[in-house]
Copies of this chain bind each other. A is one copy, B any other.
Amino acid sequence: MQKYGGSSVADATSIKRVAGRIVAAKKAGHDVVVVVSAMGDSTDELIDLANEVSPIPPARELDMLLTAGERISMALLAMAIGNLGQEARSFTGSQAGVITDDSHGRAKIIDVTPGRLQNALDEGAVVIVAGFQGVSQTTKDITTLGRGGSDTTAVALAAALKADVCEIYTDVDGIFTADPRIEPKARRIRAISYEETLEMAANGAKILHLRCVEYARRNDMPIHVRSSFSEKTGTWVVAADQVARHLEQEGDSDMEQAIISGVAHDRSEAKITVVGVPDRPGEAAAILRALGDAEINIDMIVQNVSASATALTDISFTLPRADGQTAMTALARLKDQVGFERLLYDDSVGKVSIIGAGMRSQPGITATFFEALAAAGVNIAMISTSEIRISVTVSETHVDTAVRAAHEAFGLGTGEVEAVVYGGSGR
C-alpha cells in the first residue's frame, strides 16, 4: 500500500516518476495498491470555480466537484504505469468500496469492502485508488472525507486488504523531532509509536493527520512516512512494542533510550478569557455547553482560583482561530445569564508541546522544560499535560525560541537520540 500526496503528482513529470517507483515495487514481488491525491493545486482551482458560480456551494455538489481532482490524477497515474508495461487499474473511492456516512465534506469511513481491488490484485494489476473520497451508505451519494482524507483512505484500505505496511509518500523525509524550518538541528525520527504520533498531530505537527493515525492505531497498521523524492527510509509509525524492533532493523539496537521524541508547535489557535465569572457551581459548565452547542472544540482550559472577596474568577481557554468569531458571539449571548464581566480575545498565542512516552517514568521533565523556556526568556501563559505530553501557550512571537530551547534541552539534535523506545502502552 502506497499513498502519494498532491505534490508527488503535481505534473506529468512527477506522475511518471511516481509510476517508476510503483513499477519497481511491483517488480520486487509486492502486490501494490496506491492511493493518490489530486494534482498539485487542482483542488484549489476547483474550489475557485465553485465560488465563481455560488458563494455557498451545496456540500453534496462540492463533493461531486472536488472528487474530479483525484479522478484525473489516478487515471493519469494508471496510464503512466501502463506505459511502463505494467497493467494498472484506477478506482474511485466508491468503486474501491470506501463506504462512509453522509456528512459531505467531512465524511467518516464506516466500512471498507475492497472486493474489486482484491480481484484486480489477483489478476496481477497494480491498483490505483482515489484518496479523500467515498460513497454514502445511506444516500449512495459521493462524499469527501475532509482534511487528512487521503492518508486515512490509504490506512483504511491497507487494513481492509491486510497489507504489510502503508507507505505515506510526502515531500519530506519523515517525521522530525521539530519543524526543521524553525530548528535546523531537527532530525528524522526513525520509529515512533501511534500514541506519540497522535499527540504530535493533535498539537500542530503537520505531517500526518489525527484521523489517519487513529485509524492505524485501531487496526495496528504500520505506517512508513517517507519522501517520494528519495529512496531513503523515513519514519515508521508502529505499535509501541514494535518501535524497538524497527530500530534494530536499522542497526540501532544499542541506541540510547530517548525521553522526548519531538517538539510540536501550533500557531492556529486563539485564546478567549471570560473575565469575572461568579464562582458558583455550574457557571463554567454553562460556558462550555454554549461552546459545545456551537460545535467548537476547545483545547486547553484554565480557571484561576478565586481569591478575592468578590468571589469572581476568570476562565481562559484556547480554540482554533477559525472558530474565534463564532465562539465570541455564542459567549456574548450568555453574558446576562452567567453574569460575567467581559470577554477578552487574543489571537497572538502559540502553543509548544513536548511529546514522549519516556516521560511517563521520568520525573523532572516538566521542570527541565520550564527551566529551558525561562532561560530563553519565554513566558508561559497556560499549561496542559497528558501522560505523554506537556503543552504550554506562549506569545506567538516566542514560538520559535521556545521550540529551539526545548529541542536543545532534551538533546534532540545531538544525534544520540533519534527515536523513542519504551514498553507497551497497555492499549
Contact = CB atoms under 8 A, between A and B. Distances in A.
Given A61-B82, A116-B140, A49 B76 contact: yes
A52 interface: yes
5 contacts: A15-B53, A16-B53, A61-B82, A67-B71, A68-B69
Interface of A: 12, 15-16, 19, 46, 49-50, 52-58, 60-62, 64-65, 67-69, 71-72, 74-80, 82-83, 87-90, 95, 116, 140
A53 B81 CA distance: 9
Copies of this chain = 2
A82 B57 contact: yes
B61 A75 contact: yes
A61 B128 CA distance: 11
A52 to B, nearest CB: 4
Contacts of A87: 58
Contact of A75 (B55, B65, B77, B89): B65
B79 A53 contact: yes
Given A60-B89, A95-B140, A65 B54 contact: no
A79 B54 contact: yes
Nearest to A56: B83
B79 A50 contact: yes
Nearest to A67: B71
B61 A78 contact: yes
A228 to B, nearest CB: 16
A45 to B, nearest CB: 10
Contact of A90 (B16, B61, B76, B77): B61
Contacts of A62: 75, 79
Contacts of A69: 68
B116 A12 contact: no
Contact of A71 (B15, B52, B71, B116): B71
A61 B75 CA distance: 5
B75 A54 contact: no
A79 to B, nearest CB: 4
Contacts of A67: 71
Given A53-B80, A61-B79, A65-B75, 11 more contacts: A12-B52, A53-B76, A54-B80, A58-B82, A58-B87, A61-B82, A62-B75, A64-B74, A68-B69, A68-B72, A116-B140
A293 B291 CA distance: 73
Contact of A82 (B16, B54, B78, B82): B54
Nearest to A58: B82
CB-CB nearest 8 A-B residue pairs: A65-B75, A12-B52, A54-B83, A64-B75, A53-B80, A54-B79, A68-B68, A68-B71
Contacts of A88: 61
Contacts of A72: 46, 49, 65, 68
A136 to B, nearest CB: 12
B90 A49 contact: no
Query: Of residues A19, A64, A69, A72, which shows the largest number of chain B Cβ atoms within 10 Å of its Cβ?
Result: A64
A189 to B, nearest CB: 34
Contacts of A80: 53-54
A67 B75 CA distance: 10
Nearest to A90: B64
Contacts of A19: 53
Contacts of A50: 75-76, 79
